[in-house]
């Protein structure tokens, strides 16, 4: 087994409190939910399903075909939390869970509660939507995380046996199923397992699934597939409408697409496959240039939880923008960075982590959004049929609960997004404060980083340990006046693909500084609903206006985009930078009852609008929220 890839341990004032909250309460809270012991939360049954499959309990399977993935993500999150708080109780609980999984695994290696308990005769008969390989992928990611955190291969051994079983089932030999999973996920998990174990079987299976999709008919040839009438669930829903190398645009179910591209980026890197790499660059440009919300969320259509069929279709109020899809974009961006460090990937990764991902969880860590709109008027959202998916408040859990454990594993695993490394070239993508241990050719470097991101640009790094390397520091797209010093001496700023290099060795102190003033960001006029509007961004944070800080009828305000946006430290949510925008306000009070329309120029009065980070919206009760502002 290879040594774990390094994980930066966050110690800043932004991520660390969230990590501590999840480690102290979130893990226990979600464990109660998964055991149906949390009053008011939707039923999960996830743990009991495994106990039944293991012969340790009586009963029926409850939940969706992908219910197993909720426990898998919990195991992954709990494993990451051990990096921060090595709890003997949590370790023994994880061992207990793994013991259940060992017993639930069938003699041939198969591990899936739905098809073991409920439909044993239908194993792999619904590759399209059965989610068996999706669940296995999440459990494989959990196994890698558990190995990283504890050094124990116990869970990985279970998954290794299951992958051996998959290798007997899937492939091009006579009698095998020549197909690919309807919901991608296992591909990127297989790549992770390959990186830890060096066992080519994982990579071979990942490559087979990536290369088969859209090439062999797979499940598309199943009786009835093409006769189905579901409008948004054709072959493109599964990214199977064409070989990935020929896909020009991101199509279909957004989470599936993001997970596919993540897995494909791993295969492109590990196999040095340039045709795959070029396809991913093209798809990246399509997603981030034409199909992504300013928050980094993707997948605007509710029907099919998918990308719109056309570019620039990004409605803010009926956005789908699933939390899992935002997480998927961060995962993809990170894997693009592993292959080729270019700051444009990190800019998006940071944007989506700080906005579209974090909006999925409340400040108390116990309430979640599945759907992440950029505008809400609660009374309308609750009553319009086309807004049915848009909730004005986060909830405790969902019947389809993919998002809550996904956001928890992402926050607890945020340290894995900070760096990528190629030999002794160390690329730092995120400036948040942390400590990290990085193996170089001549020893292990310890990096200790202080930072006030996302409130103040820059960081100070102290280098200790052994070895040496070249640190590449990202120049964020929003940074102004980027300056770099080493041991008090200014360094030349010569960025390559958005990264500035500086040689580091023990004893060095590296300081980077840049300003990141709040600024208006205007929308492409092709995006109909937000044409001629502007959002406010400061550093990586997208801001929003909430009724709680302002007034109802947020859309009656017009921002003056030519004026300065003022900043102040506010004692909200543990301390934030609050913004105030100048503008004017429609005089709504003068309108009489029943006066729906009026001629003559509207009367406007000078006004200002307070804004908070978008990810923090809806932590003070229901109310209007808007990211995009009318401008004068
Ligand atoms: Zn989800």
Reduce the secondary structure of 103-124 to three states and give it as a string.
HHCCCCCCCCHHHHHHCHHHCC
Q: Is 7 exposed, middle or buried (0-12, 13-18, 19+ CB in 10 A)?
A: buried
Q: What pLDDT digit, counting tens, does each position of 135-168 carry?
A: 999 999 999 999 999 999 999 999 999 999 999 9
Cα three-residue angle 235-241-243, rounded to 5 degrees: 140
Q: Which residues pair with 419 in a beta bridge?
A: 428
Distance CA 432, CA 453 (A): 5
Whether 258 and 298 have beta carbons less than 8 Å apart is answered as yes
Q: Is 610 exposed, middle or buried (0-12, 13-18, 19+ CB in 10 A)?
A: middle
pLDDT of 224 > 80? The answer is: no
pLDDT score at 577 = 98
Dump the DSSP string for 257-278.
Answer: HHHHHHHHHHHHHHTT-HHHHH
Q: Dihedral (C-alpha) 89, 66, 403, 96: value to the nearest 10 degrees?
A: 0
pLDDT of 7 > 80? The answer is: no
Task: Find the 322 Cα to ligand 1 centroid distance in Å.
Answer: 6
User: CA 527 → CA 254, 321, 326, 361, distances in Å?
Assistant: 19, 16, 20, 27
pLDDT of 225 > 80? The answer is: no
Task: Find the 403 Cα to ligand 1 centroid distance in Å.
Answer: 4
User: How confident is residue 590, by pLDDT bands cut at 50, 70 and 90?
Assistant: confident
Task: Find the 228 Cα to ligand 1 centroid distance in Å.
Answer: 25
User: CA 116 → CA 51, 132, 170, 563, distances in Å?
Assistant: 12, 11, 19, 63
pLDDT of 1 > 60? The answer is: no
Q: Minimal CA–CA distance to 404: which of 327, 352, 349, 348?
A: 327
Residue of higher predicted confidence among 397 and 191 = 191
pLDDT of 229 > 70? The answer is: no
pLDDT score at 226 = 61
Q: What is the mean pLDDT of residues 246-251?
A: 97
pTM: 0.97
Distance CA 306, CA 304 (A): 5
Q: What is the mean pLDDT of residues 235-263?
A: 96
pLDDT score at 602 = 82
Which pairing describes strands 499-504 and 557-559: parallel, antiparallel, or unpaired?
unpaired
**Residues annotated as part of the active site:** 305, 402
Q: What pLDDT digit, counting tens, does each position of 433-489 carry?
A: 999 999 999 999 999 999 999 999 999 999 999 999 999 999 999 999 999 999 999
User: Any residues with CB less than 8 A from the CB of 452 and at least 6 apart, and which?
Assistant: 12, 13, 433, 458
3 state SS of 595: coil
Task: Find the 148 Cα to ligand 1 centroid distance in Å.
Answer: 25
Q: What is the mean pLDDT of residues 251-268?
A: 98
pLDDT of 423 > 80? The answer is: yes
User: How confident is residue 5, by pLDDT bands cut at 50, 70 and 90?
Assistant: low
Whether 180 and 212 have beta carbons less than 8 Å apart is answered as yes
pLDDT of 2 > 60? The answer is: no
Q: What is the mean pLDDT of residues 326-347?
A: 98
Task: Find the 264 Cα to ligand 1 centroid distance in Å.
Answer: 21
Enumerate the H helices of 152-243 as residue ranges.
154-169, 186-197, 200-212
pLDDT of 221 > 90? The answer is: no
Dump the DSSP string for 434-477.
Answer: EEEEEEETTEEEEEEEE--TTTS-EEEEEEEES--EEEEEE--T
Q: What is the mean pLDDT of residues 286-313?
A: 97
Distance CA 328, CA 555 (A): 32
Q: What percent of the chain has pLDDT over 70?
A: 98
Q: Minimal CA–CA distance to 557: which of 617, 610, 609, 624?
A: 609
Task: Find the 490 Cα to ligand 1 centroid distance in Å.
Answer: 46
| Residues 359-395: b if buried by 16+ CB within 10 A, e if exposed | bbbbbebbbbbbbbbbbbbbeebeeeeebebbbbebb
pLDDT of 234 > 60? The answer is: yes
Distance CA 193, CA 367 (A): 32
Q: Which residues pair with 584 in a beta bridge?
A: 558, 606
Q: What pLDDT digit, counting tens, does each position of 495-541 carry?
A: 999 999 999 999 999 999 999 999 999 999 999 999 999 999 999 99
User: How confident is residue 231, by pLDDT bands cut at 50, 70 and 90?
Assistant: low
Residue of higher predicted confidence among 25 and 589 = 25
Q: What is the mean pLDDT of residues 201-227?
A: 87
Q: How many helices (H) and strands (E) does the chain have?
A: 16, 21
Which pairing describes strands 629-631 and 557-559: parallel, antiparallel, or unpaired?
parallel
User: CA 63 → CA 44, 115, 125, 196, distances in Å?
Assistant: 7, 12, 19, 32
Please state, as a whole number, how many other Cβ atoms lie within 10 Å of the Cβ of residue 623: 19
Q: Which residues pair with 501 in a beta bridge?
A: 472
Task: Find the 327 Cα to ligand 1 centroid distance in Å.
Answer: 9
pLDDT of 4 > 60? The answer is: no
pLDDT score at 603 = 87
User: Any residues with CB less than 8 A from the CB of 577 and at least 6 apart, and which?
Assistant: 455, 538, 567, 568, 569, 570
Among 88-92, 216-220, 558-562, 615-619, where is mean pLDDT lowest? 216-220
Task: Find the 259 Cα to ligand 1 centroid distance in Å.
Answer: 12
Whether 502 and 486 have beta carbons less than 8 Å apart is answered as yes
pLDDT of 228 > 80? The answer is: no
Whether 160 and 207 have beta carbons less than 8 Å apart is answered as no
Q: What is the mean pLDDT of residues 69-92?
A: 97
pLDDT score at 75 = 98
Q: What is the mean pLDDT of residues 220-240?
A: 77
User: How confident is residue 233, by pLDDT bands cut at 50, 70 and 90?
Assistant: confident
Average pLDDT value for the chain: 95
Q: Which residues pair with 513 in a beta bridge?
A: 458, 483
Task: Find the 483 Cα to ligand 1 centroid distance in Å.
Answer: 39
Task: Find the 304 Cα to ligand 1 centroid distance in Å.
Answer: 13
Whether 329 and 286 have beta carbons less than 8 Å apart is answered as no
Task: Find the 468 Cα to ligand 1 centroid distance in Å.
Answer: 41
């Amino acid at each position: 087994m290879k040594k774990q890839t390094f994980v930066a341990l966050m110690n800043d004032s932004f991520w660390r409190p969230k990590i501590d909250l999840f480690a102290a309460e979130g893990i226990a809270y979600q464990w109660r939910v998964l055991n149906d012991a949390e009053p008011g939360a939707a039923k999960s049954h996830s743990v009991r399903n495994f106990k039944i499959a293991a012969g340790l309990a009586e009963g029926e399977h409850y939940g969706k075909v992908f219910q197993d993935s909720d426990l898998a993500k919990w195991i992954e999150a709990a494993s990451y939390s051990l990096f921060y708080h090595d709890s003997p109780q949590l370790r023994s609980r994880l061992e207990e869970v793994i013991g259940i999984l060992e017993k639930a695994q069938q003699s041939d290696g198969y591990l899936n509660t739905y098809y073991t308990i409920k439909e044993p005769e239908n194993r792999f008969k619904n590759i399209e939507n059965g989610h068996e390989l999706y669940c296995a992928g999440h459990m494989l990611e959990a196994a890698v995380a558990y190995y990283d955190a504890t050094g124990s291969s116990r869970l990985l051994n279970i998954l290794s046996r299951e992958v051996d079983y998959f290798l007997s089932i899937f492939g091009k030999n006579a009698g095998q199923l020549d197909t690919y999973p309807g919901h991608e996920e296992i591909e990127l998990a297989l790549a992770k397992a390959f990186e830890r174990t060096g066992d080519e079987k994982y990579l071979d299976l990942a490559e087979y699934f990536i290369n088969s999709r859209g090439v062999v008919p797979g499940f598309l040839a199943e009786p009835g597939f093409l006769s189905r009438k579901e409008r948004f669930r054709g072959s493109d829903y599964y990214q199977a409408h064409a070989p990935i190398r020929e896909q020009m645009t991101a199509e279909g179910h957004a989470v599936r697409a993001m997970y596919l591209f993540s897995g494909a980026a791993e295969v492109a890197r590990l196999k040095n496959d340039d045709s795959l790499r070029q396809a991913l660059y093209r798809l990246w440009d399509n997603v981030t240039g034409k199909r992504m919300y300013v928050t980094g969320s993707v997948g605007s259509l509710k029907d099919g939880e998918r990308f719109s069929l056309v570019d620039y279709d990004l409605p803010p109020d009926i956005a789908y923008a699933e939390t899992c899809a935002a997480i998927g974009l961060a995962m993809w961006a990170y894997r693009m960075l592993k292959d080729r460090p270019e700051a444009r990937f990190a800019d998006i990764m940071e944007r989506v982590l700080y906005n579209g991902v974090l909006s999925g969880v409340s400040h108390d860590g116990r309430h979640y959004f599945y759907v992440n709109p950029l505008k809400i008027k609660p009374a309308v959202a609750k009553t319009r049929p086309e807004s049915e998916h848009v909730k004005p408040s986060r909830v405790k859990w969902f019947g389809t609960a993919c998002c809550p454990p996904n956001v928890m594993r992402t926050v607890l695993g945020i340290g894995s997004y900070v760096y990528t490394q190629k030999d002794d070239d160390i690329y730092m993508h995120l400036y948040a404060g942390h400590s990290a241990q990085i193996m170089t050719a001549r020893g292990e470097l310890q990096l200790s980083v202080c930072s006030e991101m996302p409130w103040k640009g820059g960081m100070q790094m102290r280098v200790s340990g052994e070895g040496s390397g070249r640190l590449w520091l990202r120049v964020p797209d929003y940074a102004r006046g980027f300056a770099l010093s080493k041991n008090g001496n200014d360094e030349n700023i010569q960025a390559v693909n958005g990264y500035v290099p500086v040689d580091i060795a023990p004893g060095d102190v590296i300081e980077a500084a840049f300003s990141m003033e709040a600024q208006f960001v205007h929308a492409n006029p092709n995006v109909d609903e937000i044409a001629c509007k502007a959002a406010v961004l400061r550093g990586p944070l997208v801001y929003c206006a909430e009724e709680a800080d302002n007034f109802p009828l947020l859309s009656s305000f017009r921002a003056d985009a030519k004026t300065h946006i003022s900043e102040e430290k506010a004692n909200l949510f543990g301390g934030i930078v609050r913004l105030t925008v100048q503008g004017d306000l429609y005089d709504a009070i003068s309108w009489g009852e029943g006066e729906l329309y009026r001629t003559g120029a509207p009367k406007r009065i000078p006004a200002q609008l307070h804004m908070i980070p978008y990810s923090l919206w809806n932590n003070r009760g229901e109310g209007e929220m808007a990211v995009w502002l009318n401008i004068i």
